[in-house]
Amino acid sequence: MATRIVDSADVSPEAVIGDGSSVWHLAQVRERAVLGRGCVVGRGAYIGTGVELGDHCKVQNYALVYEPARLARGVFVGPAAVLTNDTFPRAINPDGSLKDATDWQAVGVTVEEGASIGARAVCVAPVTIGAWSTVAAGAVVTRDVPAHALVVGVPARQVGWVGRAGHPLESTDTPGRWRCPTTGTTYIEHDGTLTEEGTPHD
């Protein structure tokens, strides 16, 4: 599959766009950003300077991914979601002068493999979104999200677990054992973490 960058997209010549990726209308991909293979950047989305996306990521329309975010393979960022980079934002310094890039230190959001961030969710850096977790639409994430966790609300709180297919897991007759209703895969909960059955845990 060929790489596709539409004419209205603003892609820096210093960005690296992987084979088979698509950058759609009015999207902006900044200097030194790296997109893996088969990525999709939707209409009006923003990929900040030096941001890294693994293979097969989807950044939907009008999502904002600010540097220095790192997205692993297969991450989904929903429409109008925001990954921030300033924990204590101010437009000006205490003396009233306009802040520039030298007046603050950017901090990023890390999103691990297969995780999904719902529409209009906000991830307040610095946080890590664990592998295969789901951040519900409209949630505001202010602390790390465990792998496979389902988090909702403002601030986001965990309400369940999700499997690789993205569907909420169902409890079984065995405490600490969960099952995916779509794939049948079973997962084991141990000390607040979830792993697929048969996967070693600490």
Q: How confident is the model at residue 197 (pLDDT cuts 50, 70, 90)?
A: confident
Domain boundaries, the chain: 4-89+105-158, 163-202
Of 114, 125, 120, the residue nearest 71 (C-alpha): 114
CATH (residue range 4-89+105-158): 2.160.10.10
pLDDT, one tens digit per residue, over 132-191 is: 999 999 999 999 999 999 999 999 999 999 999 999 999 999 999 999 999 999 999 999
Query: What is the edge-to-edge ordering of all strands in the sheet holding 127-129?
Result: 16-17, 34-35, 52-53, 70-71, 109-111, 127-129
